[in-house]
Amino acid sequence: MVKICKASLKYASGDGLDRISLEVRSGEFVYLVGPTGAGKSSVLKMIYMDALPSEGYVTVGGYDSRDISDNEIPFVRRKIGIVFQDFKLLEDRDVFENVAFALRVTGARRKDIKRKTLRALGEVSLPHKSRKMPHELSGGEQQRVAIARAIVNDPFILLADEPTGNLDPKTTIQIMNILDRLSTRGTAILMATHNYELVNSSVKRVVSIKNGTTLN
Amino acid sequence: MLFVLGEGLSGLLKSRLSGLMAVITIAVSSILIGIFLIITANLSYLVENLRGRVELEVFLDDSFNEEKIETLSTQIRAIHGVQTLTFISKETAVLAYRDLFKEQKDDYFDALGYNPLPASFRVTLKESYRTSTGADSVFNSISSLADINEDDVVYRREFLVLMERYIRIAITIDFLVGSIVCLSALLLVSNNIRLIIISKRRAIETMKLVGATRFLIRMPLYIQGTLQGLIGGLLATVFLYGLLKLSAIEIAGLISVNWQIYILLITLGVLLGVTGSFSAIRRYL
């Protein structure tokens, strides 16, 4: 499903990843842990093809980093859901439009857009706030909207980059419960975090990364 | 496609201040370019008009008979650069003279008892010969004909040389001003779209993350730029039309404003919008 094989990534600063390998299977929940700057976000970037490895390769849902063209990258991303610590919501659109946006760019039909958007908002228990603007929501609610946007296209994997980094413990539990539920329904989850407390409290697979070199 | 159009339109409506600035920039630039075009068009018209008036006069000796006049006429017509040749007989010359000086009560011809005015050919030049060098070459060709002396051929050479000098200066200024206005307009529009791209950076980043293609990301910006250009061009047209009507600047025959200039202004606005967006998108996206 997602396979990273001996992939290296070099940044001009000298940082990067060195011969990293990782595989995530359908419905699997994997924590990617490591200190800040270890390269967690770079691993995610390789998966959504924002950065292509200089050595090794990455395969995502049939696409291979070695022969992917720039025009194909948007189509890889339509199979992936991505959630960030800072939510990345569009401030000039309401909740419904933020979620529907991911469908509109794929050219989905209007009828399907409404149905799928409301369903995704239902998954994160926010259909009643569909006409609210992002600034009217709490941090936890904004992250739930971001999750709804990430899952509205029925992705096979959800990449979450420190999704609870800006949230209080109670809201963190809410978000984790949503991710857990998605995982049990078959969506693979790869969650980058440096919250060891959160990781240690669960029994999921953990992959650690340090200085961009060690992965186990 | 509907999504792209919608994004372009909503981008225009949401951009408010920056969008308004872009529209005003395009409108002001189009007005300046419009004025420049009107000046250029009228300058060209004036130049062509003045050049069209350039003609040579070939005075004929009174001793020339009809046959000789006919031969000379054929020879002159055959010279490169000659467009038309009109024969002015002695009698026609008198009529023309009387018409020109009709306010004078005394008739010199009656006093003299004979007609001193010579017959002549009036020679007009082909368009490409309506310059001092072109007229010179026709002048030399006619003067070199047997029976024609250099003194018998006259044209307003000094006027032509002077006119050419002023035209050169005017065209250089015209071209420089026009180039500066066009370049400034393009830079202003491009900078404006750059600001729009910066303000939309977050939306563009999100669009990329959710799988929007390059077409879907760029097209709304092109549409926005085009619409801004169209509105700017329309505003410029309305403004310039009003200005010209109010100031009654259209002096018959001299400063004329063709309706095509308005179509050109709208097209120019759109082109500025598209080119500005294109250059900014290529550089900053």
A75 contacts B206? CB cut-off 8 A: no
Of B258 and A100, the one with more pLDDT: A100
Would you call B215 an interface residue with chain A, using a CB distance cutoff of 8 Å? no
Give the mean pLDDT of chain A: 91
Beta-carbon contacts of A163 under 8 Å, excluding residues fewer than 6 positions away, are A83, A84, A85, A143, A146, A147, A175, A179, A191, A193
| CB-based contact A82:A48 (threshold 8 Å) | yes
Which residues on neighbouring strands pair with residue B88, listed in sequence order?
B120
Residue A147 counted as domain residue: no
Is the same domain home to B201 and B280?
yes
* Residues B150, B61 within the same domain: yes
Q: Do A88 and B3 touch (CB under 8 A)?
A: no
Does the pLDDT at position B254 exceed 70? no
Q: Do A105 and B216 touch (CB under 8 A)?
A: yes
Considering the domain architecture, whether residues B178 and B277 belong to the same structural domain is answered as yes
Helical residues (DSSP H) of chain A, grouped into ranges? 40-47, 73-77, 95-104, 110-123, 139-151, 169-184, 196-200
Poorest-confidence range of A69-73, A196-200, B9-13, B82-86? B9-13
We report the CATH number of the domain holding residue A211 as 3.40.50.300
- Answer whether residue B249 shows pLDDT above 60: no
Residues of A with a Cβ under 8 Å from any B Cβ are 48, 70-71, 74-78, 82, 88-92, 101-102, 104-107, 149, 153
B75-112: per-residue pLDDT in tens? 999 999 999 999 998 888 888 887 877 777 666 767 77
Distance between CA B148 and CA B150 in Å, rounded? 7
In a domain, A133, yes or no: no
* Residue A153 with chain B: CB contacts under 8 Å: 210-211
Which residues in chain A have their CB less than 8 angstroms from residue B14's CB?
A: 92
Q: Which residue from B minimizes the CA distance to A71?
A: B213
Give exposure, B188-197, as e/b (b: 16+ Cβ within 10 Å).
bbbbbbbbbb
Domain co-membership, B83 together with B44:
no
Mean pLDDT of B214-224: 86
Condensed to tens digits (0 to 9), the pLDDT of residues B144-192 reads: 888 888 888 988 888 888 888 887 888 888 788 878 877 887 787 778 7
- Mind telling me how many Å the CA of B285 is from chain A's nearest CA? 14
Please check whether residue B285 touches A, CB under 8 A. no
One domain for residues B130 and B181: no
CB crowding B119-128: b at 16 or more within 10 Å, else e: bbbebbbeee
| CB-based contact B211 A77, cutoff 8 Å | yes
pLDDT for residue A160: 95
Asked if A101 lies within 8 A of B211 by C-beta distance, the reply is no
B203 contacts in A (CB within 8 Å)? 90, 92
Is the same domain home to B31 and B84? no
Q: Verify whether the Cβ–Cβ distance B206 to A71 is below 8 Å.
A: no
Return the amino acid letter for A125.
S
Last residue of a domain, one of B155, B172, B192: B155
Q: How many CB pairs under 8 A join A and B?
A: 48
ipTM: 0.85
3-state secondary structure chain B: CHHHHHHHHHHHHHHHHHHHHHHHHHHHHHHHHHHHHHHHHHHHHHHHHHHHCCEEEEECCCCCCHHHHHHHHHHHHCCCCEEEEEEECHHHHHHHHHHHCCCCCCCHHHHHCCCCCCCEEEEEECHHHCCHHHHHHHHHHHHCCCCCCHHHEECCHHHHHHHHHHHHHHHHHHHHHHHHHHHHHHHHHHHHHHHHHHHCHHHHHHHHHCCCCHHHHHHHHHHHHHHHHHHHHHHHHHHHHHHHHHHCCCCCCCCCCCCHHHHHHHHHHHHHHHHHHHHHHHHHC
How many angstroms separate the CA of residue B219 from the nearest CA in chain A? 12
Instruction: Specify the pLDDT at position B253.
Output: 52
Domain span holding position A45: 1-76+192-216
Minimum-distance CB partner of A74 among B3, B203, B212: B212
Residues 173-202 of B with CB under 8 A from A: 202
Per-residue pLDDT of A4-15, as tens digits, reads: 999 999 887 777
Instruction: Answer yes or no: do B136 and B212 share one domain.
Output: no
Given a cut of 70, whether residue B194 has pLDDT beyond it is yes
Q: How far is B187 from chain A (nearest CA, A)?
A: 28
As for how many domains chain B has, the answer is 2
Residues of B in contact with A89 (CB under 8 A): 206
Chain A residues close to B210, C-beta within 8 Å: 77-78, 82, 101-102, 105, 149, 153
Closest-CA residue of chain A to B220:
A105
Whether residue B144 sits in one domain with residue B217: no
Indicate yes or no: CB of A102 within 8 angstroms of CB of B213. no
Q: Which amino acid is located at B22 in the chain?
A: A
B176 in the same domain as B273: yes
What whole-number distance in Å separates Cα of residue B228 and Cα of residue B185?
Answer: 13
Query: Among B155, B183, B204, where does a domain finish?
Result: B155
Of A74, A101, A104, the CB nearest to B213: A74
Q: Looking at beta carbons, which residues of chain B come within 8 Å of A159?
A: none
Question: Which residues of chain B make contact with A101, given a CB cutoff of 8 A?
Answer: 206-207, 210
Q: What residues in B contact A92, CB-CB < 8 Å?
A: 14, 203
Kindly tell me if the per-residue pLDDT of B250 is higher than 60.
no
Which residues make beta-bridge pairs with B193? none
A107/B210 Cβ within 8 A: no
Distance from CA of B228 to the nearest CA of A (A): 20
* Host domain of residue B132: 55-155
Confidence of residue A116 (pLDDT cuts 50, 70, 90): very high
Residue A160 maps to a domain: no
Query: How far is residue A36 from each of residues A1, A161, A172, A200, B124, measured CA to CA in Å?
Result: 27, 12, 19, 18, 88
Cβ-Cβ contacts under 8 Å, A70 against chain B: 214
Q: What is the mean pLDDT of chain B?
A: 82
Same domain, B35 and B122: no
State the pLDDT confidence band at B256, using cuts at 50, 70 and 90: low
Do residues B100 and B208 share a domain?
no
Supply the CATH number for residue B124's domain: 3.30.70.3040
- My answer on whether B145 and B170 are in the same domain is no
Q: How many structural domains compose chain A?
A: 1
d(C-alpha B29, C-alpha B182), whole Å:
7
